[in-house]
Structure 1
């Protein structure tokens, strides 16, 4: 893949009529991506939120006017923070590479879900070359792009081709991909990452084999001198950047191959911060390095707001801080999102189920409730649909499902304006789409579809796209079993207290 799979991948696809950025030459330096952004979250996990009081003047925000109105509904089942790493080469970042610096770029992003019990968190790595749908995004001139299909994930950040990038477009893309509402978005650059590793006096890492200059820069044309000797060692600054960006010397030579090593690095950084102690002497330099290179959404744009966010994570211990990767497979020179595993992962996060299957939404509960008890406690009784018109779409391959659902809704008093097949048949969750002013009707309809996702649309009217998790029994519906992280994801999860030499690369 272009900078993601083996060298020499094909060029990026472009959609006519959209603002897809032009193909650019492969960058020669670190593709840190979410590593830089998640580093600032280390402060919160370590319990240093109060330190932000001293840093209010350094907090930069981006314009949230580009965040789509067509979003997943807000929820009390935890919170979600999108962390984006910018590899712009402008300003102080120029010292870390020789690529183009006129356009902000991201490579890998991470979506961190902080559970409602505030004792668990999981960060999901999203490979930069994942093929996804990019919804309409706002350009600098105020106009909006058309939706783009089957595009590289990292191209969302480049929409508009500005130095600061387009974090709102990336947020829109993540919400469309996951069905999770992103509560906050952070962007960080190379300078912040480098300074943070220096502020903690280095981070312990593990190198599975000797790494040479030629591994860092394949264009060198020869092996070069030794950069990293095999084994455990401490890195900081430029050396830390080199460690997390190594691609050709370890694993399968791809960008995605180093995701697990980046997760191991962050785990080690969290350990180091906690080990150094939570006092002003150690935390102020770390926080100062992070915030000066960070841009956040307006919801985090003050010291008080950052404190509140930080305090929500300060009690999460190392073992309950998890890292996983969006289910993927290679598709030629790109990365395909694997379904239904990806859908199951995000369904589990929406339900606030931890990687090991706990119900973190049940605060203070001594044990997870049974499926029946959970359903009866959280799902309102089906309401009358009198006076409400709805169109029904079958988002699955089950024949006749739209008709059966339509009859069920008619029995409940709804007026069904149509029952047909959806544009695609890959829906896992049922989705209720509602136009302006129809939110109350959508909530009434949702009582007949436990676990459905509510999404506001620009067009008027009410639609329901039925997914595979809908189960019909004559005129009633019942929820499926509680969502859970699929074993293919859970079995590969890293905890922040895992051995730093384990599971360092894909491939």
Structure 2
């Protein structure tokens, strides 16, 4: 196994500079990412049995050796970058959402950048249908997976698992990922139900037969099944593309963060433990976050970042002239996004101007 670096981030002994490693950094790291967010874990820390139960829920994935040392330089500041994936595996309990055709894919992908000081964050969604040059990588069994030009982004996870997904994002962005967290369908539903639902407002009717969602305009408290339907809805909103679904996901994430703060999660031990139990079953983190103690820092960091401090964008793309069902990165504008994050700066508005959007913005608040 690759030597763990001082700050506990994935990747071991990289080639670039390391960020300063004060313990406070890991304790205040993020806002949570995807549905796993709210949780990342505090409950039960005072009770031995509860602590061990939560620890036993966590199944981490060690991708250090698979990533190797050929990675972007690590910037010397207090920011943190996390790749969050939502897996569309149809195995196990997830079989209710379709047939397992032999390999999960990254149905949702977000790069979460937590700025120095851990008071605000930017989230960059990467459309799963983006055509990219996938780098050569190593899968979970140690086999080499050949690179491919004009490959769909979500094939990286399908052919090479978490390490290949991280390798691909680092190749695209030039930013070293500090952590990786994966969320699955069934765990997502249970987490929302444990929270008591998430309140959203729809400005128009959303009816989607594939996601089984049927919402009239107005305010709704979505349970886990409905929430999963919302973040997977695609054909019935905007232009029917994955870009519209991303806009729904981003709106839901903000509502989710607000809901966590409003239900007294951090003041109710019972509520906190229930969420922690659901969340630790819902996620697969990298091996530097695969214990309650390590995840506690994420939970503490979450309390300082509200939805109003989270800037969400989609990686700048245009519809592919050769295939309207795919998108391609707008290289100059995408570079603006990644450069801003690499320098720990806000994403400039010009970077996302006149890009393909999915036309679903404002449908959910």
Which TM-score applies when normalising by structure 1? 0.58
Contact 2:191 2:282 in 1 (8 A): no
Q: In the aligned structure 1, how far is the partner of 2:316 from the partner of 2:92?
A: 35
How far the C-alpha of 1:137 sits from its partner, in A, is: 1.4
Match of 1:43 in 2: 39
Q: What are the superposed Cα offsets for residues 356-389 of structure 1, whole Å, 9 maximum, x if unpaired?
A: xxxxxxxxxxxxxxxxxxxxxxxxxxxxxxxxxx
- Of Structure 1 and Structure 2, the greater helix share is in 2
**Superposition pairs for residues 228-243 of structure 1, below 5 Å?**
228-243=215-230
Q: Hey, what's the Cα distance between the residues in 2 that align with 1:226 and 1:347? A: 38
Question: What secondary structure is seen at the aligned counterpart in 1 of 2:255?
Answer: helix
Equivalent position to 1:188, from 176, 183, 186: 183
Higher relative contact order (CA 8 A, sep 6+): 2
Q: What's the counterpart of residue 282 of structure 2?
A: 293
The alignment partner of 1:83 has SS state of: strand
Secondary structure, counterpart of 1:300 in structure 2: coil
The answer to whether 1:504 aligns with 2:357 is no
CA distance in 1, matches of 2:277, 2:98: 26
Match of 2:198 in 1: 203
Q: Check the 8 A contact 1:68/1:137 in 2, yes or no.
A: no
The alpha-carbon deviation at position 66 of structure 1 amounts to 1.7
Runs of 4+ in 1 over 6 A off after TM superposition: none
| Aligned counterpart, 1:385 | none
**Preserved contact between residue 213 and residue 229 of structure 2 (Cα < 8 Å):** no
Equivalent residue, structure 2, for 1:177? 172
Equivalents in 2 of 1:132, 1:179: separation in Å? 14
Q: Pick one of 161, 168, 173 that aligns with 2:163.
A: 168
The structure with the largest alpha-carbon Rg is 1
Alpha carbons of 1:59 and 1:52: their partners in 2 closer, same or farther (altered >3 Å)?
farther
Q: Are the aligned partners of 2:289 and 2:295 in contact in 1 as well (CA < 8 Å)?
A: yes
Q: Give the structure-2-normalised TM-score.
A: 0.80
**Aligned partners of 2:241, 2:248: CA distance in 1, in Å?**
12
- 1:266 is matched with 253
Partner secondary structure for residue 239 of structure 2? coil
1:338-366 superposed Cα distances (whole Å, 9 cap, x missing partner): 121110111110111124xxxxxxxxxxx
Are positions 1:125 and 2:120 aligned together?
no
Checking the alignment, whether the CA contact within 8 Å between 2:42 and 2:272 is kept in structure 1 is no
Equivalent position to 1:305, from 294, 308, 330: 294
Tell me by how many angstroms 1:246 deviates. 1.9
Gaps spanning 5+ residues in structure 2: where? 1-31, 46-50
- The aligned length equals 315
* Distance in 1 (alpha carbons) for counterparts of 2:350 and 2:89: 37
Question: Deviation of residue 308 (structure 1)?
Answer: 2.5
Match of 1:56 in 2: 55
- For residues 157 and 58 of structure 2, the distance between their equivalents in structure 1, rounded to whole angstroms, comes to 20
Paired residues of 1:94 and 1:101 also in contact (CA < 8 A): no
Match of 1:81 in 2: 82
* CA shift in 2, pair 1:338/1:226, >3 Å: closer
Report the secondary structure of 1:171's partner residue: helix
Q: Which residue of 1 aligns with 2:66?
A: 66
SS state at 1:127 partner: coil
Aligned to 1:10: none
Partner of 1:489: 352
